[in-house]
A and B are shown apart, each in its own frame.
Chain A
Amino acid sequence: MTRWAMVADLRRCVGCQTCTAACRHANATPPGVQWRRVLDVEMGEYPDVKRAFVPVGCQHCDDPPCLDVCPTTATKKRADGIVTIDYDLCIGCAYCAVACPYQARYKTMRPTFAYGRAMENETKRRDDARLAVATKCTFCVERIDAGVAQGLTPGVDPEATPACVNSCITQTLAFGDLDDAQSNVSQLLRENRHFRMHEELGTGPGFYYLWDAADDGQATD
C-alpha cells in the first residue's frame, strides 16, 4: 500500500512563503486562496519569547472530518491517503470548510484577479469549475499520478512532487510514502521527534511536524 504524507521540519522553516507562492503558481489559485501557507506563530512574553513558522494546509487526514460531512460525496479519500474534491459534484455548501480543523478549505464565489481584471496568465489558467465550490490542497495529485505513471518517485523526482516541496528553500518540506519504510518521510519520522496538528481530534493528519532530533535516532513522539 501507499500512504502519501507531508513532513515539515519546523527547525528549518523560516516563513519565507516561497511554498505559498509556488502553490499559487502551480495551482493557479486566485488571490487570497493559499492552499499552502506558512503561519507566523509567537509564544511567550517579552523577553522570553519564541517564534516559529508553521506550514499549513490540507492535512489529508486518515479520518477527514470534511469527508464525512460532505453531503454530495464530492470529497473523497483515495487509497493512497489523498483527500480530493470532485468539483462537478460539490454544491459549495461549505460544510467541509467549517468541519475542517485546519482551515484548509476555500470557496471563491466569483472570478478574482490580482489587479481587478484578468491578466493573460490568469485568463490562460482560468478554471470556472473551481468557482463556488470547495477547493483545497491536493498534494498536487496530478503531478503525483502523472509521475507515478512514468515510474517516478513522488518526493524524490521533482516532476512527481508537490510544487511546495519542490520550491522549499530550506528543505523544510518533504513528501513521500509512509508505508514505505525506506522512504524519505519514514526515515525523517524515525530519526526525529514529531507531532501532528490537533492530534487530539483523532483526524489522523497525513502531515507531520518535526521539532527535534530523536535522542537515540528513534523518535519517541
Chain B
Amino acid sequence: MTQDGTRHVPTYCYQCVAGPDLLTVKVIDGVATEVEPNFCAADRHPGGGKVCVKAYGLVQKTYNPHRVRSPMKRTNPNKGVDQDPGFVPIGWDEAFDLITEKLTRVRADGLTDASGYPRLAVSFGGGGTPQSYMGTFPAFLAAWGPVDMGFGSGQGVKCYHSEHLYGEFWHRAFTVSPDTPLCDYLISCGANVEASGGVVGVWRHANARARGMKRVQVEPHLSVTGACSAEWVPIRPKTDAAFLYALLHVLLHGSPRERLDVEFLAKHTASPYLVGSSGYYLRDRTSRKPLLWDTRSGAAVAYDTPGIVEALEGHFEADAIEVGADDEVLAEGRLSGETAFSKLLMHMASYTPEWAEAICDVPAKTMRRVAREFLDHARVGEFIDIDGVRMPYRPVAVSLGKTVNNGPGGFECVWARTMLAALVGGLEVPGGTLGTTVRLNRQVPSRVDSILAGPDGFMEYPLNPTDKARWSPNPNIRNAYRTMVPLAANGPWSQALGPTHFSWMFLDETPKGLPRVTLPDVWFVYRTNPVISFWDTPDIAEKIARFPFIVAFAYTHDETNHSADILLPEATDLESLQLIRIGGSKFVEQFWHCQGFALRQPVVATQGDARDFTAIATELAQRTGILDKYNAAINRGAAGVPLKGTHWDVALTPDIAHSPETIWDAVCRAASAELTDGQQSNGLDWWREHGLATRPFSQAKWYLYPALAAQGLRFELPYQERLLRVGTELGRRLHEHDMHWWDGQLAEYQGLPKCDDHGAVWVASLVGHGGTAEAYPFWLLTARSMQYAWGANVGMQLIREVADNVAGHRGVIVNTQAAARLGIGDGDMVEIATPQRSVRGRAVLRQGIRPDTLLLIGQFDHWATPFSKDFGVPSMNSLTSMSLDLTDATGSSADIVRVRLAPMGEAAR
C-alpha cells in the first residue's frame, strides 16, 4: 500500500468462458475504484495481460445498490411471473435452518426419488464459469451424492454443442480453434470470435490480421467479426453445411489429388480402412482389427501392420469379417470392400457448389474460389519446428459459430469442417484446426495427456454404453443423457452436455419409456437465469414456479430467483477467495506458454451481509452432516488441487469446519508444491501479494498430432463406423423398450453424413405450428455481445452504456431495404412474431444483414432484474419453442426461429 492509502490488488476475472483475465483493482482507502490490466502478467498471459471490457463492470457490480445484501425468504407462497415474491430479509442462521430442514428431509427420504432422479438439483450458468466463483461448493456436491445438474439454462442452444461432442470424439476438442498465431487463411462460419473469443481471441486475431491472415466470414449478418474480416459472405441462415460440403466437393473433385495431404490421410486417418457392403469395416477374422489394402504386399492387412503402404482409393477383396451392431457378424469370408476415402469421394460427388448455391444463396463461383484459396494457403508438404518438435505446417483452418454447430445440421457442419482440415493434413498441426481442451474425456491439465489408445487404432472415447447388457432406460438424471446420447459420456460435465431442455420439456409429458420426470425437492441456482437465457423462456418461467423449494445464490433479484424460496447473497467477484488453474490450452482461444494458478481475493470488504461461497458450502456441509465427506472431497482436489500429492501433504482435518482462509491457504500451498514439484509451499499471503504463479507449458502441447503419431493412433475420419454402430445399437435398445420418439435423431448416426437444407427443419416446425414460410419470411437470429456474453452483468450501468456504442444493442437489426419495404424506419417500434408469440422492440436499420434475416443481439427482455428490466429490448428466447423436432442426436438445438416482422400501429407507439 502507498502512503496515500492506494493499493493495487491482483485478482482474476472469469465472467466469461474465454477467461480468465488477470487484473489489478485500484483500491483507495478501502474503496475499489479502477480496474487495470495486471501488467506483471503481460509476458505470461496470451492476451498481453489485458482485461476484457466486462471486468470493468466489477466495481459497479460490487457497489450496485440493487444487490441482495442479506439472506431473504419468500413470504408469498404463490409463485409465478405475476406474483410478488414478498422477499423479506432474514439472518443467515434462519436461512441455513430453512435450507437444512429441506436437505435433511431429502437425505432422510432418500437421495433419489421414485423415478430414480436425484431429489437435489443444481443449475449453474455460463459454460462452467461459476466454478471459478463458487469456492468449495463442488466439494459439497461431491460429498452430497447424486445431484441432478441437468436442468439447462442455455446449454445445447447457446453453446457449441455438436463441436463439444464430436470435437472431443475426433480430436479431443471440446471447442475448436484455429491456430491463429500461425494461420494464414481462416474460413469462419458464424464464429464471432471478436465477441466470444475474449481478450485472448481478440488479441490473437488482431495480430493475425496485422500479419496478413485472410479471414472469410460466412454469416447472415455483418457481425463484429465479419467487419474485421477480409471478406464477408452473407450466407442464408442455417445452410452452412451446404457451403462446407461444396468446399469439400471442390477439394475432392475439383483439385488434383496430390494437392491434398495424401500421406496424412493414409497414415493418420481411417481413409484407407476398407468398408464392407453393410457399411462396417472389413476386419481381420482373428484379431478383428480393421483391414486396409497394403500396396506394397498387395494384400489386405490390419491397420497397424508395420511397414505398409496404404491404398487410399479403390475396391479390394479380402478374407474378412464384417461386424455390425451388437457384435453381429454381418458377413464373413471373401468380402469386397472399398476404402473409406473412396466412399467419401462417391458420397461427396453430388454436393457441387451449384447444388449448394441453391441452398445457401452463396454464388457457386465464390465457393469455388474460397475452396481454391483454402488449398492455396494450405502449404501441403511443409513442416515447422515447434519447441524442437517437427510437425506439418498447415496454416488454414475453419471455425464454426454456435448456431452453425448446434441442432440439426450441426453434425454435418462439424464433420465437414474437420474433414476440410483432414484433407489438407491441417488437423491438430501448427497453423491448422485445433482442439482447445477436454471436458468429456479424462480431465488432465493438458489434453495431449488425455490421449489413450482405443479400439481400431483410434483414440479411446468414453461413450455411454449402448449394448444390451449395460444400456439402461432408467437415466441417472432427468435429461437422460446417458440413455439417449452416447457421445455425451459420463464425466463431470456430461450432465450439462446432454439434452438439457428435456429436464424442462418432460416435466409436462415424459415420453414413453423414461421414468416420469419429476420436480426436484430442492433446487440450487447459481449465476444462471434460465428464465432469460434458455429457449422457450415463458414456459421455463411457468415451470420454475412449480418447483417446491428453490435456493438461489442471488446477486440481485432476477427472473429465476423470482420464484425462489431463499435468496443467499454470496460475496461477489471482488469480495471472495478462490484459487484456479490457468494456462495450458483452453477455450476459446487460450493457448498459453505456461500453466499454473491465479488467485481471486477479497479486494474490498464484503458489502452488506454477503458471505464467501466457501463459508456457505462449509456451513451447509456441517449442518447436513457431511462435513467429513466435504473435507475429504477438498482433500481429493475438489477445490482445484489435491491437497496431498507426491511431494506435499497439506490435507485438511476431515471433521472440522475450516474457515475459507484455512482451506484456500492449504490449496495455495498444494498449488505451489505442484508447480515446483514440492520445492515451494507458498501460502495464501504469498498468493495475495503475487496473484499468480506459473511454470512453462510447451507450445508443442497445443497440437495433438505428435502424441497421436507417437502412439500410432489415427483420427477417426472420414468414415463414422463407430457412431453408426452405437447409433444402430441405441435404436435397437430404444425400440426394444417401445421408444420410437427418438427415431428422427437416430438418423444422424451415419457412416458419412448426408447434407440437406437444414433450415427446412425450422420451416417444418413453423408449419406444424400453423404458420407458412411466406407469412413468416424472416429468419430471426441472435449473436453474442462481447460486452455481455456469459457475464451475468446485464445490470451493470457501465456495461450497458458502452455496449450501446455497438450497433444493435438497442433493438432488432433489420436490413434497411427490407425495412423500407415494410414501411419501417430506424428506431420505429416493431413487432416480431411467431404463430404462437410476439415480442416488441425498436428497429435498428443496417445494411450489413441479409434482407431475409433479423438479428437480436444478446438476450435481454428482463422483467425483474433491476436496471435491465427497463431496457425495452426483446429477446429471441421468448419466441423459440422447445421441441423434439428441433433437437438433434446430441440433444441440442439452434438459436434460430422463423418470424414475421411488422411495424406497430400508431396506437401501440
Contact = CB atoms under 8 A, between A and B. Distances in A.
Do any CB atoms of chain A lie under 8 A from CB atoms of chain B in the complex?
yes
Contacts of A20: 53, 802, 805
A124 B801 contact: no
A117 B797 CA distance: 13
A127 to B, nearest CB: 12
Count class of interface residues, chain A: 35 or more
B142 interface: no
Contacts of B36: 22, 25, 158, 163, 166-167
Contacts of B57: 21
Contacts of B48: 169, 171
B785 to A, nearest CB: 10
Contact of B56 (A12, A22, A38, A44): A22
A24 B798 contact: yes
Given A38-B805, A169-B50, 9 more contacts: A9-B210, A14-B202, A18-B52, A21-B53, A40-B807, A46-B850, A167-B50, A169-B48, A170-B206
Given A15-B224, A17-B805, A47-B234, A158 B210 contact: no
Nearest to B799: A21
Contacts of A88: none
A182 B787 CA distance: 36
Interface in A13-33: 14-18, 20-22, 24-26, 28, 31-32
Nearest to A117: B65
Contacts of A38: 805
Q: Give the interface SS of chain B, mostly helix, strand, loop or mixed.
A: mixed
B39 A26 contact: no
Given A12-B209, A170-B203, A18 B53 contact: yes
Contact of A14 (B33, B50, B224, B867): B224
Interface string B48-73: 10111100110110111110000000
Contacts of B199: 169
Nearest to A20: B802
20 contacts: A9-B210, A24-B798, A24-B801, A25-B34, A25-B36, A26-B34, A42-B222, A45-B816, A46-B847, A46-B849, A51-B227, A125-B33, A163-B36, A166-B39, A167-B37, A169-B47, A169-B52, A169-B206, A171-B48, A171-B203
Interface in B147-180: none
A140 B207 CA distance: 26
Interface string A133-174: 000000000000000000000000010000100111111100
- In the complex, which of the residues B199, B202, B798, B847 has the most CB atoms of chain A within 10 Å of its own CB atom? B847
Nearest to A125: B33
Interface stretch (B24-32, B575-583, B677-685, B759-767): B24-32
B232 interface: yes
B447 interface: no
Given A16-B202, A51-B226, A114-B60, A124 B33 contact: yes
A53 B223 CA distance: 12
Given A50-B227, A115-B797, A121-B63, A11 B53 contact: no
B28 A124 contact: yes
B204 to A, nearest CB: 10
B748 to A, nearest CB: 33
A216 interface: no
B202 A170 contact: yes
A26 B33 CA distance: 8
Nearest to A171: B206
Nearest to A12: B206
B786 interface: yes
A172 to B, nearest CB: 7
A120 B28 CA distance: 11
Contacts of A120: 31, 63
A46 B801 CA distance: 28
A121 B32 contact: yes
User: Which 7 residue pairs of A and B lie closest in terms of their CB atoms, listed nearest first?
Assistant: A51-B227, A21-B56, A119-B63, A170-B206, A114-B797, A17-B802, A18-B53
B805 A39 contact: yes
Contacts of B815: 46
A84 B815 CA distance: 43
Contact of A52 (B52, B53, B227, B801): B227
B786 A16 contact: yes
- In the complex, which of the residues A37, A47, A53 has the most CB atoms of chain B within 10 Å of its own CB atom? A47
Contact of A45 (B39, B202, B847): B847
Nearest to B26: A25
Contacts of A125: 33
Interface in A204-221: none
B511 interface: no
B35 interface: yes
Given A42-B848, A46-B847, A125-B33, A15 B806 contact: yes
Nearest to A113: B797
B803 interface: yes
B706 interface: no
B783 to A, nearest CB: 13
Contacts of B884: none
B228 interface: yes
Interface string B480-496: 00000000000000000
Nearest to B604: A120
A1 interface: no
Nearest to A50: B227
Contacts of B32: 121
Contacts of A124: 28-29, 31, 33
B194 interface: yes
A119 B234 contact: no
Nearest to A25: B34
A122 B60 CA distance: 9
B93 to A, nearest CB: 28
Interface string B839-851: 0000000111111
B203 to A, nearest CB: 6
Contacts of B53: 16-18, 20-21
A79 interface: no
B51 A167 contact: yes
B62 to A, nearest CB: 8
- In the complex, which of the residues A12, A18, A163 has the most CB atoms of chain B within 10 Å of its own CB atom? A18
A168 B50 contact: yes
Contacts of A51: 222, 224, 226-227, 848
B676 interface: no
A125 to B, nearest CB: 6
Contacts of A181: none
Contact of A49 (B52, B209, B848): B848
Contacts of B52: 16, 18, 169
Contact of B807 (A16, A42, A44, A116): A42
A169 B206 CA distance: 9
B817 interface: yes
A170 B51 CA distance: 11
B798 A114 contact: yes
Nearest to A158: B39
Contact of B227 (A53, A114, A117): A53
A15 B787 CA distance: 10
A40 to B, nearest CB: 5
A119 B62 CA distance: 9
Interface in A50-65: 50-53
